[in-house]
Structure 1
């Protein structure tokens, strides 16, 4: 029988074996290179080529920093001296002396940096140049005071700043090694136009235009100059002046829209051009441009429509601006510009929605702020009657816009806004009470129906895990990164022909001499037939002997033995660190390796997300409808019945957590109906509590069949039962009856196997509490006469149970019988002034405790010990109080401190003791 594999399968097997051998070889080569480095490093360190001189002590400051400090202080002192001379000593000289001094000092200060730069004293030349710039300002000031004192100060300052800006720019261009003159010229260039407008008597609008023009010029400097300090200074000036111009335009859009709109639109155009030319700042600058456009157009619309329509006008402008992302013109805009414009539009729409939210809050939460009595027939009017009715229009328009976007987040937003619209409708128009309640119930029904059946709203949405239609910029990016054959472009290669992800395109078939820039036989993939299976691309690859990345396995036996290399025995130089594993390449014939797949979190289903959004709105509407219906008796029953039916439908037809939450809500609605019925019948509180037991009884019955929601339904029913106990607490007889009926319900629930363990204990506890309350209601002062006849048979039954089943728990066998007597007797002992009962109870508890310790019974040990400790505490409490009163006030804190110190010092031992005690108790039955 021939067991040989087919040629194709055998080829795959051979390739895998070669891949394993190649991977092991590369790992060993990497280890060898590391060992060589470790061995060579100590040898080089042990034989230095020149004597090592001791290091000099570190100075407190470097020479360069000390030089800068000295030059800065010197320049500052000279500047102060020049200013003092100009302002104080100026009048003691004649006109000729003044001119001579200023010209001579200024010329010397501006000429000295030329000589200093030739000698390499750049920092000194910088300081002297700064002094010269300050002197030119003083020259301008002196010229105005002496020769041009009659001219206007603002006009002269504008002209002087323009002249100084040009002179400083020319001076900085002539001496490019000086860093201060060019930025100083940019700073001076910020003043001519604004000062000129002020000198001409221009108002706020003209000043804003001057600031905007100056900011545009600063933007041009940022875009078309190279020195970084100049661009930083111009950018700061553009931000300050442009921001002032846009803020002024925003203010004018309210006071004078037709004056502010051109200013805002011009500022937006400047920002868009800057965003187009500077992609790094495109998003932020485009946001500013978009807000300016909205302010301009919205201001014009606001001036043409009534006051209530102002916000809808701004929202409309925001929607138009946000639509740039999907409009045809958006495909020709850079991605950053479109993102910024869309963000500005979205921010405007969000502000409009905030303006429209008060009616929504009034419709949803208004009924909860009740100012009238329940069932009084009086209705609290809406608190926002005067709010503009256009708020509903804003909600509707934005909801329609979001509904047109085929994205899950947009569909969720549209659904929430539709709910908000329906909730806000009764507020602004002032609908009557019946219409408001009907609309609330209809909103609840619609929301809960969508929560159960969200499929119609998911039409047009992409499925989870699928990629939506690519946007124009995505298609452009894909076209740039792939070639004509849809193959990813290779990474840029280095001098050795190795790219960032692996070696470059391997040479064609034929001999190739290995070298530093040409891969050898072991450094390139062996050519094989197309489609031949290769090794796993994720197999690690390590550096080859010459520092080149080792290739993957050969794909054909015809290519020669894989892994041969002419320099395989030559160790890599110690200075060349080995290349990281995984830097090889995958498929043969390419320099590209596909990225390793990574696990991703599963995306949520659109129907699930939309269902939860609708469900949340439905619950809020249901709560508001019930609160609103409390004004009228009939409306209360109608609303509670409707909510009960709707939530029951969701509990039956829904899925997941919504089903359980709806079932719990239905139980609460049923409890509300029972409570309302009892109140309508005029029943007292204890009778109402008795009637509320119908709810836990019903949930216990429903829990037997409604498996998916049985537990939450029964827990909610138990909570209603606790409220029934609270209502019946005013009458002990009725409280005992309610406890007994609760025990009956728990006992009936214990028939089910999955509830038997907990429900049986609950039933026993309720019956026991009912007996105690009944005894207290009868005024019994000797409970032992009623409890001992129960305890003795219970203990006998428990003893027989333990003989038949030694593994049975002592809590099940003896716990109920002991608790029936010990706990009531303990309560009676705490209120008994005599000493006989506490003594007998203490002796009995001591006996029970000793029996529990002797026979290792947990129930006897814990119950007896607890009762014994509490009984002893009751007896010792008066004496403890007397002793504490006789002690000094400082002694109890001191004793407490000593106790804490002792516990802290032996903390680990106490933990071990507590752990050992817990383990011993756990081993007891």
Structure 2
């Protein structure tokens, strides 16, 4: 028995198939080319008389044949329609009743029947144009009938019945002639009018039974939804979808408005029912019409929330509306996220429901955020009147002269509690479903056999990202803290109780940072949020306590101690301890400032007290060494030093003292190797500034008194650097120090008329020049020689001017000419000497 040939590997078999297909395509192209040639031989083109004179190239057409045809048909239909309108409006009254009836019967019947014959001949576009004309003629016929025979009938009522009849006729006509595309969408457009006109007729005639405008819109939208779902043609479904969106959207808006202005549960019942029905229609359309899934589900969700929330809001006082509507949003969100959704709606519908609920949640949050911000920042209003006495109660402590005494803080607190509960529930739900990515038992399902459709994803697939549980938990923690912050205002507590409560709450939030592990297991971001809330609460509590002296010292002392304890004993990371350490420095500074204010010290005297803060920080960071927390502490201590300088600016002697003390602190910090490069320069600058400020305070005007304290240390530092690094340039080592004194003194010499300063400066410049020449240093030689020359010129200038006045006017030009001649004669020798001098200077350092 022979064995079957071995099957080649898939890759080799695929390559063989590709080659065979290429060969077949090439053979097919050859056969098609041969077929075209044979057809040309069998059926040659007819000769033309002008064939010999015309060229073979043809111009490209600018419009296709169907386009030209459609334009011509459209223009013809428009012209016929205009003629029909003109005939109806102008010539109608000149004909008798028989003539009118004949014209109506003949023209309209002909326009309706003609498309049938045209369709049998295959002239579909022409049939469409004639059918459109027939529809226009029907409208004109109904108008003419009303104008002549039924003028006493209400216009709204007649138009409503006429629109309904025309919609039915057009629908039947379109179903009878299925090849026509225009009549059925036109019937849908006409169907938008009957209920609306019926409602308008009822509003015009008080006794006429008719639905309200909102219900009429909703009924029209219901018809459109039915057509959009079960319509058999795309044009009908699209037209119905647009109509449903417009009519349904207007109905929902009217229902929401009526629900908001309702004055009681009875008044809110009808708009609630209307919104419920609208939500059902929107969700039905979203479920069955894929193109409208998202927008329809969002509108349906919002309508449900508005209906349920409106009923609840009508039964409670008006300032409780926010929690009422939020309750409806929570119910919808819970339904959307329930693990056992049997109906299993499409993913887009779930997304829309969650989006609608999320919109209401965001609006509720925006409604309470101003009150939360007021609760935190309102105590800042006491800053212009610190220690002026306690306010009447917790609400008066927010400022505004009692403006917020009647605010419904309870409703804001309830709204915040509800939002926090939703966030906590969602955080737990998301954490449970993160591992699988979808709900257990509700994974993405492929379409069943024999059915068409798209896979439906669960609700978890929409929102289950790894960070969402943590974000929701952190937001819930912040909202719970905000609710607790509002407790004194909700209870209208007294001032002392409000301060005590805020202080205890702040310390409790900070205490969560000490041992963050237990709460971090459930809410990973809770510790960071607690620290943020604690710091913000500390600021708010401090501002609240500024009304009385006792409250100020109590709050500052407790918070200062709490921040120190957390910095030392917290198990959190370095970032948390850096924040609390800096906060401890800030509140320690505030405590010292309060103590100075209690001692009736002036601002510049308080500055001397505040300098103790950077000093203590410098000692503490010296113990910490290169610990990462040292840098933030030093920066915060430096800010305290800047505050001290600002407080001392009003008194120059005190400012000089503060600068000197700050220089001592910086010099002590410069002892540490890792801070030497930064703190050393800072210490020198502070000492120099202290000297200058002290001299200015003593009304010292001599510039050397300001510059010599800079020159002498600079020269000493330059000498040390030259000793350590002999290759250092003299300009780097000695240039800044020498210029610091000699340049200002030179300007003083040229601006003053005394003899002592030029003498002393000249002697000093001569000494510097000689030292530079002796040590072969470029900077002292150049600076000293330049200053000496300028001082000599300054002293010689009066005599030169006097001598020039005594000389004849022709002598200076003559001397200048002789000088030029002498220079020109010895130019080459001078260049050689200048080159030797430059080389000599270049060998100096």
State which of 259, 263, 276 in structure 2 corresponds to 1:265. 276
Q: CA deviation at 1:748?
A: 0.4
User: How far did 1:744 drift?
Assistant: 0.9
Give 1:431's aligned residue.
493
* Aligned-pair CA distance for 1:754: 0.5
Q: Is the 8 A contact 1:387 1:428 kept in 2?
A: no
Which residue of 595, 606, 615 corresponds with 1:688?
A: 606
- Conservation of the 8 A alpha-carbon contact between 2:688 and 2:709: no
- Distance, in Å, in 2 between the alignment partners of 1:216 and 1:863 is 98
Does residue 361 (structure 1) correspond to residue 373 (structure 2)? The answer is yes
Match of 1:599 in 2: none
Superposed, 1:368-767 pairs within 5 Å as 368-370=380-382, 372-379=384-391, 380-382=396-398, 383-388=403-408, 389-405=410-426, 406=428, 407-460=469-522, 607=524, 609-652=525-568, 653=570, 654-706=572-624, 707-767=627-687
CA displacement at 1:429 relative to structure 2: 3.0
Matched-pair contact (CA < 8 Å) for 1:386–1:428 = no
Structure 2: how far apart are the matches of 1:75 and 1:239?
Answer: 31
Distance 2:406 2:783 in 1: 68
Q: 1:818 to 1:126 in 2, by over 3 A?
A: farther
Q: Distance in 1 between matches of 2:76 and 2:782?
A: 88
In structure 2, C-alpha distance between the alignment counterparts of 1:666 and 1:709, rounded to whole Å: 13
Cα distance per residue 1:739-794 (max 9 Å; x no partner) = 22111111100111110111111111111222222233333333436855874685
Superposition deviation, residue 181 in structure 1? 1.2
After alignment, is 327-336 or 763-772 more displaced?
327-336
| Partner Cα distance (1:333, 1:146) in 2 | 58
Q: Distance in 1 between matches of 2:528 and 2:651?
A: 44
Which residue of 281, 294, 308 corresponds with 2:305? 294
- Maintained 8 Å contact 1:451/1:610: no
Residue 154, structure 1, aligned to residue 182, structure 2: no
Change (3 A) 1:235 1:629: same
Instruction: Work out the CA distance in 2 between the residues paired with 1:229 and 1:862.
Output: 96
- Aligned counterparts, 1:873-912, within 5 A: none
Tell me which of 305, 316, 328 is aligned to 1:317: 328
Displacement of 1:846? 14
1:189/1:719 Cα in 2 relative to 1: closer, same or farther (>3 Å)? same
Question: CA contact under 8 A between 1:640 and 1:669: conserved in structure 2?
Answer: yes
Q: Is the 8 A contact 2:691 2:706 kept in 1?
A: no
Alpha-carbon separation, structure 1, partners of 2:698 and 2:717: 29
| Residues in 2 aligned to 1:128 and 1:843: alpha-carbon distance in whole angstroms | 117
Identify the residue that residue 173 of structure 1 maps to in structure 2.
Answer: 175
8 Å CA contact retained: 1:385, 1:429: no
Q: Is the partner of 1:705 in helix, strand or coil?
A: helix
- Change in 2 beyond 3 A, CA 1:617/1:133: same
1:350 CA displacement: 2.9
Deviation at 1:81, TM superposition (A): 1.7
Distance 1:433 1:182, change over 3 A: same
- Which is further off, 388-397 or 344-353? 344-353
TM score, norm. by length of structure 2 = 0.73
- Shift of the 794–362 alpha-carbon distance from structure 1 to 2, 3 Å rule, reads closer
User: TM-score of the superposition, structure 1-length normalised?
Assistant: 0.67
SS in 2 for 1:404: helix
- How far apart, CA to CA, are the structure 1 residues paired with 2:59 and 2:107? 43
SS in 1 for 2:700: coil
Provide the C-alpha distance between the structure 2 equivalents of 1:158 and 1:302, rounded to a whole number of angstroms. 37
Aligned residue in 2 for 1:6 = none
Q: Is residue 2:226 matched to residue 1:215? A: no
Residue 447 and residue 94 in structure 1: after superposition, are their counterparts in 2 closer, same or farther (change >3 A)? same
Note if contact 1:215-1:238 (Cα within 8 Å) is conserved in structure 2: yes
Deviations 1:565-595 (A, max 9, x none): xxxxxxxxxxxxxxxxxxxxxxxxxxxxxxx
Q: Distance in 1 between matches of 2:231 and 2:481?
A: 55
Higher relative contact order (CA 8 A, sep 6+): 1
Q: Give secondary structure in 2 for the equivalent of 1:431.
A: coil
2: CA distance between counterparts of 1:785 and 1:181? 103
Decide which of 238, 246, 255 is 1:249's aligned counterpart. Answer: 255
Q: CA deviation at 1:443?
A: 2.3
Task: Return the alpha-carbon distance in structure 2 between the equivalents of residues 175 and 860 of structure 1.
Answer: 111
**How far does residue 236 in structure 1 lie from its aligned partner after superposition?**
1.1
Aligned counterparts of 2:185 and 2:776: Cα–Cα separation in 1 = 91
Secondary structure of the corresponding residue to residue 426 of structure 1: helix
Distance of 1:243 and 1:839 partners within structure 2: 97
The answer to whether the 8 Å contact 1:257/1:299 transfers is yes
CA distance in 2, matches of 1:863, 1:113: 110
Task: State the match for 1:99 in structure 2.
Answer: 101
Higher-Rg member (1/2): 2
SS at match of 1:210: helix
Structure 1 position 845, deviation (Å): 10
Structure 2 SS opposite 1:330: coil
Counterpart CA distance in 2 for 1:688 and 1:805 is 46
Query: Is residue 362–residue 384 contact of structure 1 (8 Å, CA) maintained in 2?
Result: no
In structure 1, how many angstroms separate the alpha carbons of the residues matched to 2:165 and 2:767? 110
Q: Secondary structure of the equivalent of 1:292?
A: helix
* Unpaired stretches in structure 2, ≥5 consecutive residues: 1-8, 41-54, 429-468, 792-843
Distance 1:659 1:844, change over 3 A: farther
Q: Does 1:206 align with 2:212?
A: yes
